A and B are shown apart, each in its own frame.
Chain A
Protein backbone atom coordinates (compact mmCIF):
# COMPACT_ATOMS: atom_id res chain seq x y z
CA UNK A 1 0.00 0.00 0.00
CA UNK A 2 1.19 3.50 -0.72
CA UNK A 3 2.11 5.84 2.09
CA UNK A 4 -1.24 6.86 3.48
CA UNK A 5 -0.30 9.98 5.27
CA UNK A 6 2.55 12.44 5.39
CA UNK A 7 3.21 12.99 9.04
CA UNK A 8 5.30 15.63 10.68
CA UNK A 9 7.32 13.12 12.68
CA UNK A 10 6.18 14.63 15.96
CA UNK A 11 5.85 12.30 18.93
CA UNK A 12 3.83 13.04 22.05
CA UNK A 13 3.73 10.81 25.07
CA UNK A 14 1.77 10.32 28.27
CA UNK A 15 4.73 9.58 30.52
CA UNK A 16 5.65 12.69 32.52
CA UNK A 17 9.00 13.62 34.02
CA UNK A 18 7.52 12.99 37.47
CA UNK A 19 6.62 9.43 36.38
CA UNK A 20 10.17 8.86 35.16
CA UNK A 21 11.70 10.19 38.37
CA UNK A 22 9.31 8.04 40.42
CA UNK A 23 10.46 4.94 38.56
CA UNK A 24 14.12 5.79 39.14
CA UNK A 25 13.40 6.34 42.82
CA UNK A 26 11.54 3.04 42.91
CA UNK A 27 14.54 1.14 41.58
CA UNK A 28 16.82 3.08 43.93
CA UNK A 29 14.61 1.99 46.83
CA UNK A 30 14.77 -1.62 45.78
CA UNK A 31 18.55 -1.45 45.40
CA UNK A 32 18.96 0.13 48.83
CA UNK A 33 16.50 -2.34 50.29
CA UNK A 34 18.44 -5.29 48.95
CA UNK A 35 21.70 -3.86 50.33
CA UNK A 36 20.19 -3.19 53.77
CA UNK A 37 18.60 -6.62 53.95
CA UNK A 38 21.65 -8.48 52.64
CA UNK A 39 24.55 -6.64 54.30
CA UNK A 40 23.37 -4.88 57.48
CA UNK A 41 26.63 -5.55 59.36
CA UNK A 42 28.79 -4.02 56.67
CA UNK A 43 26.59 -0.94 56.55
CA UNK A 44 26.48 -0.66 60.35
CA UNK A 45 30.25 -0.85 60.58
CA UNK A 46 30.93 1.75 57.94
CA UNK A 47 28.39 4.17 59.45
CA UNK A 48 29.27 3.69 63.11
CA UNK A 49 25.92 2.08 63.83
CA UNK A 50 27.10 -1.21 65.35
CA UNK A 51 24.28 -2.93 67.20
CA UNK A 52 21.66 -1.44 64.88
CA UNK A 53 21.67 -4.29 62.34
CA UNK A 54 18.04 -5.21 63.01
CA UNK A 55 16.99 -1.63 62.50
CA UNK A 56 18.91 -1.51 59.22
CA UNK A 57 17.14 -4.70 58.08
CA UNK A 58 13.78 -3.18 58.98
CA UNK A 59 14.69 -0.11 56.95
CA UNK A 60 15.59 -2.44 54.09
CA UNK A 61 12.12 -3.97 54.21
CA UNK A 62 10.64 -0.47 54.25
CA UNK A 63 12.67 0.47 51.18
CA UNK A 64 11.46 -2.64 49.35
CA UNK A 65 7.82 -1.78 50.06
CA UNK A 66 8.36 1.82 48.95
CA UNK A 67 10.14 0.63 45.83
CA UNK A 68 7.35 -1.70 44.76
CA UNK A 69 4.83 1.09 45.39
CA UNK A 70 6.86 3.61 43.42
CA UNK A 71 6.85 1.28 40.42
CA UNK A 72 3.05 0.84 40.56
CA UNK A 73 0.43 2.71 38.52
CA UNK A 74 -0.07 5.20 41.37
CA UNK A 75 3.37 5.96 42.79
CA UNK A 76 2.54 9.16 44.71
CA UNK A 77 1.80 7.53 48.12
CA UNK A 78 4.99 5.49 47.90
CA UNK A 79 7.10 8.53 47.07
CA UNK A 80 5.60 10.45 49.99
CA UNK A 81 6.39 7.44 52.18
CA UNK A 82 9.96 7.57 50.88
CA UNK A 83 10.16 11.21 52.00
CA UNK A 84 9.04 10.15 55.46
CA UNK A 85 11.59 7.35 55.39
CA UNK A 86 14.31 9.86 54.49
CA UNK A 87 13.58 11.73 57.74
CA UNK A 88 13.91 8.50 59.69
CA UNK A 89 17.16 7.70 57.90
CA UNK A 90 18.59 11.14 58.73
CA UNK A 91 17.63 10.77 62.39
CA UNK A 92 19.25 7.36 62.54
CA UNK A 93 22.40 8.43 60.71
CA UNK A 94 22.80 11.40 63.03
CA UNK A 95 23.71 8.93 65.77
CA UNK A 96 26.73 7.94 63.72
CA UNK A 97 28.12 11.49 63.92
CA UNK A 98 29.50 10.51 67.30
CA UNK A 99 31.86 8.04 65.59
CA UNK A 100 35.52 8.88 64.95
CA UNK A 101 37.53 9.90 61.90
CA UNK A 102 36.77 8.12 58.66
CA UNK A 103 33.47 6.69 59.80
CA UNK A 104 32.25 10.12 60.81
CA UNK A 105 33.10 11.29 57.31
CA UNK A 106 31.14 8.34 55.89
CA UNK A 107 28.14 9.36 57.96
CA UNK A 108 28.43 12.94 56.72
CA UNK A 109 28.49 11.79 53.12
CA UNK A 110 25.54 9.47 53.72
CA UNK A 111 23.52 12.24 55.38
CA UNK A 112 24.25 14.62 52.53
CA UNK A 113 23.15 11.99 50.03
CA UNK A 114 19.94 11.24 51.96
CA UNK A 115 19.17 14.96 52.23
CA UNK A 116 19.61 15.34 48.47
CA UNK A 117 17.42 12.34 47.75
CA UNK A 118 14.84 13.66 50.23
CA UNK A 119 14.61 16.89 48.24
CA UNK A 120 14.07 14.88 45.05
CA UNK A 121 11.46 12.68 46.80
CA UNK A 122 9.50 15.70 48.02
CA UNK A 123 9.66 17.44 44.64
CA UNK A 124 8.61 14.27 42.80
CA UNK A 125 5.78 13.47 45.21
CA UNK A 126 4.50 17.05 44.94
CA UNK A 127 4.52 16.87 41.12
CA UNK A 128 2.73 13.51 41.11
CA UNK A 129 0.10 14.75 43.52
CA UNK A 130 -0.48 17.88 41.45
CA UNK A 131 -0.72 16.07 38.11
CA UNK A 132 -3.18 13.48 39.44
CA UNK A 133 -5.35 15.89 41.40
CA UNK A 134 -9.03 16.27 40.60
CA UNK A 135 -11.38 18.74 42.29
CA UNK A 136 -13.48 17.22 45.07
CA UNK A 137 -16.46 19.48 44.53
CA UNK A 138 -15.79 22.81 42.83
CA UNK A 139 -15.46 22.83 39.03
CA UNK A 140 -17.31 19.56 38.52
CA UNK A 141 -19.69 19.41 35.60
CA UNK A 142 -23.33 18.58 35.98
CA UNK A 143 -24.51 16.05 33.42
CA UNK A 144 -28.08 15.87 34.67
CA UNK A 145 -29.35 16.94 31.24
CA UNK A 146 -27.74 13.98 29.46
CA UNK A 147 -30.24 11.16 29.43
CA UNK A 148 -29.67 9.93 25.87
CA UNK A 149 -33.42 9.32 25.62
CA UNK A 150 -35.92 11.29 23.53
CA UNK A 151 -38.37 11.30 26.45
CA UNK A 152 -38.04 11.19 30.25
CA UNK A 153 -36.62 7.82 31.45
CA UNK A 154 -39.98 6.85 32.97
CA UNK A 155 -41.55 7.02 29.52
CA UNK A 156 -38.73 4.88 28.06
CA UNK A 157 -39.05 2.11 30.64
CA UNK A 158 -39.67 -1.20 28.89
CA UNK A 159 -39.52 0.21 25.34
CA UNK A 160 -37.22 -2.65 24.31
CA UNK A 161 -38.58 -5.32 26.64
CA UNK A 162 -39.58 -7.48 23.68
CA UNK A 163 -35.90 -8.35 23.22
CA UNK A 164 -35.59 -9.66 26.76
CA UNK A 165 -38.72 -11.73 26.22
CA UNK A 166 -36.98 -13.72 23.48
CA UNK A 167 -35.57 -16.93 25.01
CA UNK A 168 -32.70 -16.84 22.54
CA UNK A 169 -31.36 -13.51 23.79
CA UNK A 170 -28.86 -15.01 26.21
CA UNK A 171 -28.15 -18.37 24.62
CA UNK A 172 -29.14 -18.36 20.95
CA UNK A 173 -29.59 -21.53 18.97
CA UNK A 174 -26.91 -22.57 16.52
CA UNK A 175 -27.34 -21.16 13.06
CA UNK A 176 -26.80 -23.41 10.05
CA UNK A 177 -23.35 -23.22 8.52
Chain B
Protein backbone atom coordinates (compact mmCIF):
# COMPACT_ATOMS: atom_id res chain seq x y z
CA UNK B 1 0.00 0.00 0.00
CA UNK B 2 0.97 3.66 -0.18
CA UNK B 3 1.64 5.79 2.87
CA UNK B 4 3.43 8.94 4.02
CA UNK B 5 6.69 7.78 5.53
CA UNK B 6 9.10 9.66 7.82
CA UNK B 7 12.76 9.51 6.80
CA UNK B 8 14.21 12.36 8.82
CA UNK B 9 14.09 16.10 9.22
CA UNK B 10 11.79 17.64 6.59
CA UNK B 11 11.82 14.33 4.74
CA UNK B 12 8.34 12.83 4.37
CA UNK B 13 7.88 10.54 1.38
CA UNK B 14 4.83 9.08 -0.32
CA UNK B 15 5.97 5.55 -0.93
CA UNK B 16 5.12 1.87 -0.82
CA UNK B 17 5.13 0.07 2.55
CA UNK B 18 3.98 -3.42 3.59
CA UNK B 19 0.25 -3.89 4.06
CA UNK B 20 -0.89 -4.04 7.70
CA UNK B 21 -2.03 -7.35 9.14
CA UNK B 22 -4.05 -8.46 12.14
CA UNK B 23 -1.49 -9.11 14.90
CA UNK B 24 -3.60 -9.36 18.05
CA UNK B 25 -7.12 -10.74 18.59
CA UNK B 26 -8.60 -7.33 19.44
CA UNK B 27 -7.16 -5.62 16.32
CA UNK B 28 -8.97 -4.31 13.30
CA UNK B 29 -7.77 -3.04 9.96
CA UNK B 30 -9.42 -0.06 8.34
CA UNK B 31 -9.36 1.34 4.86
CA UNK B 32 -8.62 5.02 5.42
CA UNK B 33 -11.15 7.34 3.83
CA UNK B 34 -9.76 10.62 5.19
CA UNK B 35 -6.77 11.75 7.19
CA UNK B 36 -5.36 15.09 8.25
CA UNK B 37 -2.00 16.70 8.85
CA UNK B 38 -1.84 17.87 12.45
CA UNK B 39 0.30 20.63 13.94
CA UNK B 40 2.12 18.02 16.00
CA UNK B 41 3.04 16.24 12.76
CA UNK B 42 5.17 19.32 12.10
CA UNK B 43 7.15 18.61 15.26
CA UNK B 44 8.00 15.23 13.70
CA UNK B 45 8.68 16.94 10.36
CA UNK B 46 11.19 19.19 12.13
CA UNK B 47 12.67 16.21 13.97
CA UNK B 48 11.90 17.82 17.31
CA UNK B 49 10.45 14.68 18.88
CA UNK B 50 12.99 12.04 19.88
CA UNK B 51 12.45 8.38 19.08
CA UNK B 52 11.39 8.47 15.42
CA UNK B 53 12.89 5.93 13.04
CA UNK B 54 13.25 6.11 9.24
CA UNK B 55 10.42 4.13 7.71
CA UNK B 56 7.78 5.14 10.28
CA UNK B 57 4.36 5.80 8.76
CA UNK B 58 3.09 9.12 10.12
CA UNK B 59 -0.38 10.49 10.82
CA UNK B 60 -2.63 10.29 13.86
CA UNK B 61 -5.83 11.99 12.72
CA UNK B 62 -7.73 9.62 10.47
CA UNK B 63 -10.89 7.63 9.89
CA UNK B 64 -12.12 4.90 7.64
CA UNK B 65 -14.07 1.74 7.04
CA UNK B 66 -13.40 -1.49 8.91
CA UNK B 67 -12.33 -4.21 6.48
CA UNK B 68 -11.02 -6.87 8.84
CA UNK B 69 -11.40 -7.63 12.56
CA UNK B 70 -9.55 -9.89 14.98
CA UNK B 71 -11.33 -12.91 16.50
CA UNK B 72 -11.81 -11.32 19.93
CA UNK B 73 -13.05 -8.00 18.62
CA UNK B 74 -16.80 -8.13 19.19
CA UNK B 75 -17.32 -4.38 19.06
CA UNK B 76 -16.64 -3.85 15.36
CA UNK B 77 -17.80 -5.46 12.15
CA UNK B 78 -16.69 -5.20 8.56
CA UNK B 79 -18.21 -2.12 6.99
CA UNK B 80 -18.38 -0.09 10.21
CA UNK B 81 -17.35 3.50 9.74
CA UNK B 82 -15.06 4.71 12.52
CA UNK B 83 -12.94 7.65 13.56
CA UNK B 84 -9.75 6.51 15.26
CA UNK B 85 -8.61 8.40 18.40
CA UNK B 86 -4.92 9.20 18.25
CA UNK B 87 -4.49 7.71 21.74
CA UNK B 88 -4.63 3.92 21.73
CA UNK B 89 -6.56 2.59 24.73
CA UNK B 90 -7.09 -0.84 26.25
CA UNK B 91 -10.22 0.33 28.10
CA UNK B 92 -9.47 -1.98 31.02
CA UNK B 93 -6.44 -0.72 32.94
CA UNK B 94 -6.65 1.45 36.03
CA UNK B 95 -6.08 4.66 34.07
CA UNK B 96 -8.59 3.82 31.33
CA UNK B 97 -11.20 3.07 33.99
CA UNK B 98 -10.57 6.55 35.41
CA UNK B 99 -11.01 8.07 31.97
CA UNK B 100 -7.33 9.00 31.80
CA UNK B 101 -7.06 7.44 28.38
CA UNK B 102 -3.92 9.24 27.21
CA UNK B 103 -1.97 7.49 29.93
CA UNK B 104 -3.36 4.00 29.31
CA UNK B 105 -1.04 1.56 31.05
CA UNK B 106 -1.20 -1.21 28.47
CA UNK B 107 -1.25 0.22 24.96
CA UNK B 108 2.36 1.43 24.77
CA UNK B 109 4.29 -1.57 23.50
CA UNK B 110 7.62 0.13 24.26
CA UNK B 111 6.63 0.59 27.87
CA UNK B 112 10.01 -0.35 29.30
CA UNK B 113 11.69 2.50 27.44
CA UNK B 114 8.81 4.85 28.25
CA UNK B 115 9.06 3.98 31.94
CA UNK B 116 12.73 4.91 31.92
CA UNK B 117 12.28 8.15 29.96
CA UNK B 118 9.04 9.45 31.50
CA UNK B 119 9.21 7.79 34.91
CA UNK B 120 5.99 5.98 34.07
CA UNK B 121 4.57 5.00 30.72
CA UNK B 122 1.95 6.85 28.72
CA UNK B 123 -0.45 5.49 26.11
CA UNK B 124 0.49 4.23 22.69
CA UNK B 125 -0.04 6.81 19.94
CA UNK B 126 -0.45 6.36 16.20
CA UNK B 127 2.21 7.68 13.85
CA UNK B 128 4.36 9.15 16.56
CA UNK B 129 7.59 8.47 18.40
CA UNK B 130 8.70 4.99 19.44
CA UNK B 131 8.54 6.29 23.01
CA UNK B 132 4.77 6.02 22.56
CA UNK B 133 4.83 2.60 20.95
CA UNK B 134 6.01 3.36 17.42
CA UNK B 135 2.66 2.37 15.91
CA UNK B 136 2.24 2.93 12.19
CA UNK B 137 0.15 5.99 11.46
CA UNK B 138 -2.96 6.92 9.54
CA UNK B 139 -1.59 8.89 6.60
CA UNK B 140 -1.85 5.68 4.67
CA UNK B 141 -4.29 3.65 2.65
CA UNK B 142 -4.79 1.07 5.41
CA UNK B 143 -4.04 1.01 9.12
CA UNK B 144 -3.93 -1.65 11.78
CA UNK B 145 -5.81 -0.51 14.89
CA UNK B 146 -4.54 -2.16 18.10
CA UNK B 147 -7.17 -2.61 20.86
CA UNK B 148 -9.65 -1.65 18.18
CA UNK B 149 -12.64 -2.83 20.19
CA UNK B 150 -12.03 0.21 22.42
CA UNK B 151 -9.92 2.50 20.22
CA UNK B 152 -12.63 3.81 17.95
CA UNK B 153 -15.58 6.14 17.65
CA UNK B 154 -18.40 4.65 15.61
CA UNK B 155 -19.93 7.13 13.22
CA UNK B 156 -23.65 7.05 12.51
CA UNK B 157 -25.01 7.45 8.99
CA UNK B 158 -25.73 10.93 7.80
CA UNK B 159 -22.52 12.62 8.91
CA UNK B 160 -19.80 13.32 6.37
CA UNK B 161 -16.13 12.39 6.87
CA UNK B 162 -15.17 16.04 7.11
CA UNK B 163 -17.74 16.72 9.84
CA UNK B 164 -16.40 13.96 12.12
CA UNK B 165 -12.74 13.45 11.15
CA UNK B 166 -11.46 15.84 13.81
CA UNK B 167 -13.06 13.82 16.62
CA UNK B 168 -9.81 11.85 16.45
CA UNK B 169 -7.66 14.73 17.70
CA UNK B 170 -8.05 18.48 17.30
CA UNK B 171 -11.70 18.83 18.33
CA UNK B 172 -11.39 16.89 21.62
CA UNK B 173 -7.96 18.47 22.14
CA UNK B 174 -9.39 21.99 21.90
CA UNK B 175 -12.39 20.89 23.96
CA UNK B 176 -10.27 19.34 26.71
CA UNK B 177 -8.15 22.50 26.79
CA UNK B 178 -11.30 24.52 27.47
CA UNK B 179 -12.84 22.00 29.90
CA UNK B 180 -9.59 22.04 31.90
CA UNK B 181 -10.16 25.78 32.40
CA UNK B 182 -13.31 25.23 34.51
CA UNK B 183 -14.90 28.05 32.55
CA UNK B 184 -17.30 30.33 34.40
CA UNK B 185 -19.60 32.93 32.80
CA UNK B 186 -17.41 35.78 34.07
CA UNK B 187 -14.19 34.40 32.64
CA UNK B 188 -11.85 35.77 30.03
CA UNK B 189 -10.09 32.92 28.26
CA UNK B 190 -6.90 33.88 26.42
CA UNK B 191 -5.73 31.42 23.76
CA UNK B 192 -2.21 31.57 22.31
CA UNK B 193 -2.10 30.15 18.78
CA UNK B 194 -4.97 30.31 16.28
CA UNK B 195 -4.00 27.13 14.47
CA UNK B 196 -6.42 24.21 14.25
CA UNK B 197 -6.33 23.33 17.98
CA UNK B 198 -6.59 27.00 18.91
CA UNK B 199 -9.63 27.37 16.61
CA UNK B 200 -11.31 24.40 18.29
CA UNK B 201 -10.45 25.77 21.73
CA UNK B 202 -12.02 29.11 20.81
CA UNK B 203 -15.32 27.45 19.78
CA UNK B 204 -15.22 25.19 22.84
CA UNK B 205 -14.70 28.13 25.20
CA UNK B 206 -17.63 29.95 23.59
CA UNK B 207 -19.87 26.85 23.87
CA UNK B 208 -18.83 26.45 27.49
CA UNK B 209 -19.92 30.00 28.23
CA UNK B 210 -16.80 32.17 28.60
CA UNK B 211 -17.59 35.89 28.83
CA UNK B 212 -14.85 36.75 26.37
CA UNK B 213 -12.36 34.70 24.39
CA UNK B 214 -9.14 36.27 23.14
CA UNK B 215 -7.04 34.72 20.37
CA UNK B 216 -3.35 35.58 19.96
CA UNK B 217 -1.44 34.98 16.72
CA UNK B 218 0.30 36.97 13.98
CA UNK B 219 -1.24 35.43 10.86
CA UNK B 220 -4.15 37.53 9.54
CA UNK B 221 -5.99 34.59 7.96
CA UNK B 222 -5.92 32.64 11.22
CA UNK B 223 -7.06 35.68 13.18
CA UNK B 224 -9.94 36.19 10.74
CA UNK B 225 -11.08 32.60 11.39
CA UNK B 226 -10.68 33.15 15.14
CA UNK B 227 -12.82 36.27 14.99
CA UNK B 228 -15.46 34.34 13.03
CA UNK B 229 -15.68 31.93 15.96
CA UNK B 230 -16.32 34.73 18.42
CA UNK B 231 -12.81 35.66 19.60
CA UNK B 232 -11.33 39.10 20.17
CA UNK B 233 -8.02 38.98 18.31
CA UNK B 234 -4.51 40.18 19.14
CA UNK B 235 -1.86 40.28 16.42
CA UNK B 236 1.41 40.11 18.34
CA UNK B 237 3.23 41.75 15.44
CA UNK B 238 1.12 44.85 15.87
CA UNK B 239 0.54 45.25 19.61
CA UNK B 240 1.71 44.16 23.04
CA UNK B 241 -0.03 40.97 24.13
CA UNK B 242 0.40 41.81 27.82
CA UNK B 243 -0.91 45.35 27.51
CA UNK B 244 -3.93 44.36 25.43
CA UNK B 245 -4.89 41.44 27.67
CA UNK B 246 -4.69 43.68 30.74
CA UNK B 247 -6.72 46.33 28.95
CA UNK B 248 -9.43 43.76 28.13
CA UNK B 249 -9.60 42.59 31.76
CA UNK B 250 -9.57 45.89 33.67
CA UNK B 251 -5.91 45.38 34.46
CA UNK B 252 -6.48 42.05 36.21
CA UNK B 253 -5.37 39.60 33.53
CA UNK B 254 -7.31 36.70 32.00
CA UNK B 255 -8.56 34.12 34.48
CA UNK B 256 -7.87 31.27 32.09
CA UNK B 257 -4.99 30.86 29.62
CA UNK B 258 -4.59 28.19 26.95
CA UNK B 259 -1.29 27.40 25.22
CA UNK B 260 -2.20 26.04 21.79
CA UNK B 261 1.31 26.70 20.45
CA UNK B 262 3.68 24.39 22.30
CA UNK B 263 7.35 23.79 21.81
CA UNK B 264 7.91 25.69 18.55
CA UNK B 265 6.87 29.23 19.48
CA UNK B 266 7.72 31.90 16.89
CA UNK B 267 11.52 31.98 16.94
CA UNK B 268 12.18 35.67 16.33
CA UNK B 269 9.17 37.53 17.74
CA UNK B 270 10.64 38.25 21.18
CA UNK B 271 14.03 38.39 22.85
CA UNK B 272 13.37 35.30 24.95
CA UNK B 273 12.36 33.34 21.82
CA UNK B 274 15.64 34.27 20.15
CA UNK B 275 17.45 33.14 23.30
CA UNK B 276 15.58 29.82 23.17
CA UNK B 277 16.36 29.41 19.46
CA UNK B 278 20.08 29.88 20.07
CA UNK B 279 20.05 27.42 22.96
CA UNK B 280 18.06 24.99 20.85
CA UNK B 281 20.63 25.20 18.05
CA UNK B 282 23.38 24.51 20.56
CA UNK B 283 21.38 21.54 21.86
CA UNK B 284 21.14 23.10 25.33
CA UNK B 285 17.33 23.24 25.32
CA UNK B 286 14.73 21.23 23.40
CA UNK B 287 11.67 23.51 23.43
CA UNK B 288 10.88 27.22 23.00
CA UNK B 289 8.56 28.04 25.92
CA UNK B 290 7.81 31.73 25.22
CA UNK B 291 4.05 31.18 25.51
CA UNK B 292 4.38 29.51 28.91
CA UNK B 293 6.40 32.45 30.22
CA UNK B 294 3.89 34.97 28.87
CA UNK B 295 0.91 33.03 30.25
CA UNK B 296 2.46 32.78 33.71
CA UNK B 297 3.16 36.52 33.67
CA UNK B 298 -0.21 37.76 32.44
CA UNK B 299 -2.60 35.26 34.03
CA UNK B 300 -4.73 36.54 36.86
CA UNK B 301 -3.57 35.18 40.26
CA UNK B 302 -5.35 31.93 41.19
CA UNK B 303 -6.05 31.39 37.51
CA UNK B 304 -5.65 28.28 35.38
CA UNK B 305 -3.11 27.51 32.67
CA UNK B 306 -4.30 24.82 30.26
CA UNK B 307 -1.61 23.42 27.98
CA UNK B 308 -2.67 21.27 25.01
CA UNK B 309 0.39 22.44 23.06
CA UNK B 310 3.01 19.73 22.71
CA UNK B 311 6.30 19.97 24.61
CA UNK B 312 9.03 17.41 24.06
CA UNK B 313 11.66 17.75 26.74
CA UNK B 314 13.62 20.40 28.59
CA UNK B 315 12.82 24.09 28.88
CA UNK B 316 14.79 26.93 30.37
CA UNK B 317 14.05 30.14 32.29
CA UNK B 318 10.55 29.18 33.33
CA UNK B 319 9.46 31.60 36.10
CA UNK B 320 8.31 28.95 38.50
CA UNK B 321 8.46 31.34 41.46
CA UNK B 322 5.91 33.55 39.71
CA UNK B 323 3.74 30.53 39.01
CA UNK B 324 3.88 29.44 42.66
CA UNK B 325 3.35 32.83 44.23
CA UNK B 326 0.40 33.63 41.96
CA UNK B 327 -1.19 30.33 42.90
CA UNK B 328 -1.74 29.25 39.31
CA UNK B 329 -3.09 25.83 38.44
CA UNK B 330 -1.48 24.01 35.51
CA UNK B 331 -3.39 21.37 33.57
CA UNK B 332 -1.87 19.64 30.61
CA UNK B 333 -1.44 16.30 28.86
CA UNK B 334 -2.21 14.51 25.66
CA UNK B 335 -5.94 14.35 25.06
CA UNK B 336 -8.15 11.74 26.72
CA UNK B 337 -9.98 11.54 23.39
CA UNK B 338 -12.58 8.92 24.26
CA UNK B 339 -13.60 10.84 27.40
CA UNK B 340 -15.09 13.56 25.20
CA UNK B 341 -16.14 11.97 21.91
CA UNK B 342 -19.66 10.98 22.90
CA UNK B 343 -20.54 14.56 23.90
CA UNK B 344 -18.78 16.06 20.90
CA UNK B 345 -20.38 13.65 18.43
CA UNK B 346 -23.76 14.71 19.85
CA UNK B 347 -22.88 18.38 19.35
CA UNK B 348 -21.99 17.67 15.72
CA UNK B 349 -25.05 15.48 15.10
CA UNK B 350 -27.30 18.13 16.71
CA UNK B 351 -25.87 20.74 14.37
CA UNK B 352 -24.37 22.84 17.17
CA UNK B 353 -20.98 22.85 15.47
CA UNK B 354 -19.46 21.72 12.19
CA UNK B 355 -15.70 21.26 12.73
CA UNK B 356 -15.07 21.15 8.97
CA UNK B 357 -14.97 24.97 9.06
CA UNK B 358 -11.23 24.66 9.74
CA UNK B 359 -10.36 22.78 6.52
CA UNK B 360 -8.60 25.07 4.07
CA UNK B 361 -6.81 22.57 1.80
CA UNK B 362 -7.68 19.17 0.41
CA UNK B 363 -5.61 16.73 -1.62
CA UNK B 364 -4.76 13.14 -2.43
CA UNK B 365 -2.45 11.18 -0.17
CA UNK B 366 0.20 11.53 -2.87
CA UNK B 367 0.05 15.30 -2.37
CA UNK B 368 1.06 14.80 1.26
CA UNK B 369 4.76 15.76 0.99
CA UNK B 370 3.87 19.01 -0.78
CA UNK B 371 1.10 19.69 1.71
CA UNK B 372 3.54 19.26 4.61
CA UNK B 373 5.70 21.99 3.08
CA UNK B 374 2.73 24.25 2.50
CA UNK B 375 1.40 23.73 6.05
CA UNK B 376 4.84 24.22 7.54
CA UNK B 377 5.36 27.54 5.77
CA UNK B 378 1.73 28.69 6.25
CA UNK B 379 1.60 29.28 2.51
CA UNK B 380 -1.62 29.88 0.57
CA UNK B 381 -3.30 30.74 3.90
CA UNK B 382 -3.12 27.07 4.86
CA UNK B 383 -4.62 26.20 8.25
CA UNK B 384 -5.77 22.59 7.96
CA UNK B 385 -5.07 19.94 5.34
CA UNK B 386 -7.24 16.89 4.71
CA UNK B 387 -5.92 14.10 2.51
CA UNK B 388 -7.84 11.29 0.86
CA UNK B 389 -5.98 8.08 0.01
Contacts and interface: CB of A to CB of B under 8 A. Distances in A.
Given A4-B19, A163-B208, A148 B14 contact: no
A14 B370 contact: yes
A172 B46 contact: no
Contact of A154 (B230, B347, B353): B230
Given A140-B381, A142-B224, A159-B207, A147 B10 contact: no
Interface stretch (B76-84, B244-252, B310-318, B371-379): B371-379
Contacts of B210: 157
Given A1-B68, A161-B209, A172-B98, A10 B366 contact: yes
Interface residues of A, number: 55
Interface in A2-43: 3-5, 7, 9-16, 19
Contact of A153 (B11, B46, B222, B229): B229
A10 B369 CA distance: 13
B291 interface: no
A2 B179 CA distance: 45
Contacts of B20: 1
Contacts of B372: 14
B16 interface: yes
A4 B31 CA distance: 9
Contacts of A142: 221, 224
B347 A160 contact: yes
* Secondary structure call for the B interface: mixed
Interface string A138-177: 0111111111111001101111110110000110111111
B357 A147 contact: yes
B180 A170 contact: yes
A142 to B, nearest CB: 5
Contacts of A141: 221, 360, 380-381
B149 to A, nearest CB: 15
Contact of B208 (A139, A164, A174, A177): A164
Nearest to A72: B281
A171 B203 CA distance: 22
A170 B98 CA distance: 11
B355 interface: yes
B102 to A, nearest CB: 13
A163 B68 CA distance: 36
Contacts of A9: 16
Contacts of B351: 150
Interface in A86-130: none
A11 B13 contact: yes
Interface string B174-214: 00000110110100000000000001000110111110000
B141 A5 contact: yes
Contact of B331 (A1, A73, A170, A175): A170
B142 interface: yes
B2 interface: yes
B109 interface: no
B21 interface: yes
Contacts of A160: 204, 207-209, 343, 347, 352
A148 B163 CA distance: 10
Contact of B369 (A12, A131, A133, A172): A12
A5 B20 CA distance: 12
Contact of A157 (B220, B225, B230, B353): B230
Contacts of B299: none
B47 A73 contact: yes
A143 B224 contact: yes
A132 B11 contact: no
Contacts of A175: 97-99
Given A134-B379, A147-B230, A14 B339 contact: no
Q: Which of B180, B225, B372: most chain A CB closer than 10 A?
A: B225
Contact of B206 (A7, A132, A156): A156
30 contacts: A1-B29, A4-B19, A4-B142, A12-B13, A13-B12, A68-B282, A69-B281, A73-B47, A131-B373, A143-B221, A146-B357, A147-B357, A148-B203, A148-B358, A149-B353, A150-B354, A153-B229, A153-B230, A156-B230, A157-B210, A160-B352, A161-B208, A164-B179, A164-B182, A164-B183, A170-B182, A172-B339, A174-B98, A175-B98, A176-B97
Closest 7 CB pairs of A and B: A153-B230, A158-B209, A148-B357, A14-B369, A141-B381, A143-B225, A161-B209
Interface of A: 1, 3-5, 7, 9-16, 19, 65, 68-69, 72-74, 131-134, 137, 139-150, 153-154, 156-161, 163-164, 169-170, 172-177
